[in-house]
């Protein structure tokens, strides 16, 4: 068994002590190319990312909307591989041993590499968690439990359609945090109603002490601030992949992501200031 680093637990403990939510940023590894993507990854913690989700590019990202699908395609066309994705994590760990990194994607690339080989390399590289959107709890023995044996948290998604009967099964082996998908549909969908999401998050808290990150449809500092008033973390993805995809040059994409991260982080941090005043 690999020794756990518990970066995710420590980060959420720090956020709770500071009475603020965290910012979780998503980028696709290798988008638009390896060098620019690595530069972006290395810049995210200083810009204000509390947790980083790094997408594992896959040819059939069925749960993702057009923006993240396009980012995945750019990465694959640029030659991104699982080996390069893990190399990016190693490069981050050379300068940052505190910021949690969660790999997000689909089971196929992991299965093709071999579960044990992937988990051993991921743990060695410094990966803290996995979000694998196409492996339901019924298949925990395939990846979830082996990942946890390697010291890697397995982060599950809950949605507005996860009913009271299904929720205990979703939560059973979830660790790190719970990712609450605030709207139905694919990533990048319409922004959720903060009031409705707050009620749904509160209902989940009755069943779990895990931190809850809320994502899908959050694109602006104003939206992030509203969600940060009650969530433990705010997850933003498509806004970053759009920033990269719309940039004229790779270096422009890096700058746009860094600028957006700063503005989102500031909004998330100030969300509870009124309560403290």
- Answer whether the bond into residue 5 is a cis peptide, omega within 30°: no
What backbone torsions phi and psi does residue 61 show, to the nearest 5 degrees? Answer: -80, 80
- 229 class by beta-carbon count within 10 Å (0-12 exposed, 13-18 middle, 19+ buried): middle
Is residue 64 annotated as part of the catalytic site, yes or no? yes
Which member of 64, 153, 225, 242 is catalytic?
64
If you search the block for the tokens 């909307």, which residue do you land on? 65
- What is the distance between the alpha carbons of residues 122 and 130, in angstroms, rounded to a whole number? 10
If you search the block for the tokens 């044990």, which residue do you land on? 116
- What is the distance between the alpha carbons of residues 237 and 187, in angstroms, rounded to a whole number? 8
- Are 11 and 100 in contact by the 8 Å Cβ rule? The answer is yes
Which member of 13, 33, 35, 53 is catalytic?
53
What does the block give as tokens for 272?
């509870």
- What is the distance between the alpha carbons of residues 2 and 87, in angstroms, rounded to a whole number? 19
What does the block give as tokens for 23?
């910012």
179 pairs with which residues across the strands?
A: 157, 213
If you search the block for the tokens 């410094």, which residue do you land on? 126
What does the block give as tokens for 242?
């759009």
Chain center to CA of 152: 14
If you search the block for the tokens 């965290």, which residue do you land on? 22
Active site residues: 53, 64
């Amino acid at each position: 068994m690999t020794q756990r680093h518990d970066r995710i637990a420590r980060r959420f403990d720090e956020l709770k002590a500071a009475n603020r939510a965290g910012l979780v940023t998503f980028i696709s590894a290798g988008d638009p190319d390896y060098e620019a993507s690595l530069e972006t990854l290395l810049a995210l913690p200083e810009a204000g990312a509390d947790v980083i989700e790094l997408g594992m590019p896959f040819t059939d990202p069925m749960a993702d909307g057009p923006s993240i699908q396009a980012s995945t395609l750019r990465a694959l066309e640029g030659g991104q591989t699982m080996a390069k994705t893990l190399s990016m994590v190693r490069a981050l760990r050379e300068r940052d041993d505190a910021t949690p990194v969660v790999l997000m994607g689909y089971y196929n690339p992991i299965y093709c590499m071999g579960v044990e080989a992937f988990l051993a390399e991921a743990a060695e590289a410094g990966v803290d968690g996995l979000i694998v959107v196409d492996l339901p709890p019924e298949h925990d023995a395939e990846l979830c439990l082996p990942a946890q044996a390697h010291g890697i948290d397995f982060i599950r998604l809950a949605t507005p359609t996860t009913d009271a009967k299904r929720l205990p099964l979703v939560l059973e082996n979830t660790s790190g945090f719970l990712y609450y998908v605030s709207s139905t549909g694919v990533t990048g969908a319409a922004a959720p109603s903060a009031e409705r999401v707050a009620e749904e998050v509160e209902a989940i808290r009755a069943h779990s002490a895990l931190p809850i990150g809320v994502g899908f449809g959050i694109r602006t500092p104003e939206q992030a601030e509203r969600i940060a008033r009650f969530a433990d973390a705010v997850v933003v993805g498509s806004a970053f992949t759009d920033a990269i995809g719309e940039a004229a040059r790779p270096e422009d994409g890096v700058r746009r992501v860094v600028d957006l991260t700063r503005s989102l982080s500031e909004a998330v941090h100030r969300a509870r200031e009124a309560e403290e005043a």
